[in-house]
Amino acid sequence: MKFFKRFFDAQRKHFSQGGRFARLYPFFESMETIFFAPADVTAGGPHVRDSLDVKRFMTLVIMALVPHLVFGIYNAGYQSHLASGLSLNFLPVFLKGVWIVLPLVIVTYAVGFFWEIVFAVVRRHHISEGLFVTCMLFPLTLPPTLPLWQAAVGISFGIVIGKEVFGGTGRNFLNPALTGRAFIFFAYPARMTGDAVWVVISPAKAAAVDAFSGATPLAISALAEKGVGVQAALSQAGYSISKLFVGLYPGSIGDTSTLLSLTGSVFLILLGLASYRIILGGVLGILSAGFVLNLFATQASLPWLALNPFYHLLMGGSAFGLAYMATDPVTAPDMPWSKWIYGFAIGVLTILIRVFNPAFVEGIMLAILFMNLFAPLLDHFEVKAVLSKRVPNV
């Protein structure tokens, strides 16, 4: 630590007033405060402050996401080796996963950090730690085959248009990670959807595995034939409930595991970092929408309608989206009842988009972005209702 201390002290002169890189001070500050919490003291009452700061807040969210990253790395490698007919031993699988996933993560962080520094320097404000969470979330929602330049374009759009043009962290009304993903989802659908993008197949083996289908559960469900039923179609393709729950199947890098999303959301709720209202509201929304659709299901209707609602929770990243994306405090509503409604509406919309619009099976992403837009409105009405109960004091 002494080495770092000396290093930062030696570099400080370049970044402080009059130094060569004075304008890059936000960069220096963000690097230094990773190692050394600032020595700033309170200027007046309250003289003591809570130990929690945004850095720790966001670090804990990242810690909740690390299992997803590790599992995603393993899963990407596993699916790749499975499809290519290679060894399924842990080490080669994991290394393969690292080879697939790490470049996406590194590119995302590099590009995201670049934009954040640009805006921090221009606006003369600090680098907000929310960026690190955004850059962690974004690659976890991508298909492992995505070209790196598309990931760079996606995170650029997410950070710049989803966040910075509105004033940066705290003032954005759309979840930046999802904004970026939605952008590449619509701009480059060929690399974001379909059966071919979810598994990296080694070129040498490509010919040998022609018959392999990398279809995700959502894709299989959407194509289930009438009369067969989604559940049957899923189990035919090898998707049992336990497989869906654990998440070892082709899909986006980090969002396949409902199990990890569940433990992650319990972690975040216990630590008070995510709103249980949003998560439970979302689960309720998904289940109740699924159940209502069950009531309308007949032999002739879409097979989706008859699907056991719990399956909806296990597929298509619903759990991941509810646990980490919907609970982003900045883009979610502030008020308690609004949070319930917001979560519930996300759940319902997810199902409706999935079931009635098979072209956009990624229901959860669109539902969250859509409800992001409505969060201020929900807040507006609840705040108005709360304030009307106050005894006026003017």
Residues that bind other proteins (CB under 8 A): 1, 29, 33-57, 59-60, 125-126, 128-130, 167-171, 270-273, 329-330, 332, 334, 383, 386-387, 390-394
Q: How far is the CB of 385 from other proteins (least distance, A)?
A: 12
For residue 22, give both structure tokens. Answer: 């004075």
**Measured torsion, CA atoms of residues 341, 345, 347, 349, in degrees rounded to the nearest 10:** 180
Counting beta carbons within 10 angstroms of the beta carbon of residue 394, is it exposed (0 to 12), middle (13 to 18) or buried (19 or more)?
exposed
Q: How far is the CB of 169 from other proteins (least distance, A)?
A: 5
Q: How far is the CB of 392 from other proteins (least distance, A)?
A: 5
C-beta closer to other proteins: residue 20 or 390: 390
Q: How far apart are CA 330 and CA 310, in angstroms?
A: 29
Q: How far is the CB of 177 from other proteins (least distance, A)?
A: 15
Q: How far apart are CA 195 and CA 211, in angstroms?
A: 12
Q: What angle do CA 293, 355, 350 make, to 5 degrees?
A: 90
Counting beta carbons within 10 angstroms of the beta carbon of residue 171, is it exposed (0 to 12), middle (13 to 18) or buried (19 or more)?
exposed
Q: How far is the CB of 225 from other proteins (least distance, A)?
A: 46
Q: How far apart are CA 171 and CA 42, in angstroms?
A: 25
C-beta closer to other proteins: residue 238 or 272: 272
Q: How far apart are CA 54 and CA 211, in angstroms?
A: 49
Q: How far is the CB of 43 from other proteins (least distance, A)?
A: 8
Residue 365: HSE in the Cβ half-sphere, 13 Å Cα cutoff: 24
Query: Quick check: helix, strand or coil at residue 212?
Result: coil
Decide: 352 and 363 in contact? Cβ < 8 Å: yes
C-beta closer to other proteins: residue 49 or 226: 49
Query: Quick check: helix, strand or coil at residue 275?
Result: coil
Q: How far apart are CA 392 and CA 394, in angstroms?
A: 6
Q: How far is the CB of 125 from other proteins (least distance, A)?
A: 8
> Helix 90-123 crosses helix 25-35 at what angle (to 10 degrees)?
130
> Helix 276-296 crosses helix 336-356 at what angle (to 10 degrees)?
40
Decide: 174 and 130 in contact? Cβ < 8 Å: no
C-beta closer to other proteins: residue 44 or 203: 44
Helices (H), 211-271: 217-223, 230-236, 241-246, 258-270
C-beta closer to other proteins: residue 277 or 354: 277
Q: How far is the CB of 37 from other proteins (least distance, A)?
A: 3
C-beta closer to other proteins: residue 43 or 204: 43
C-beta closer to other proteins: residue 53 or 195: 53
Q: How far is the CB of 268 from other proteins (least distance, A)?
A: 10
Q: How far is the CB of 10 from other proteins (least distance, A)?
A: 15
Give Cβ neighbours of residue 188 (< 8 Å, ≥ 6 apart).
150
Decide: 224 and 105 in contact? Cβ < 8 Å: no
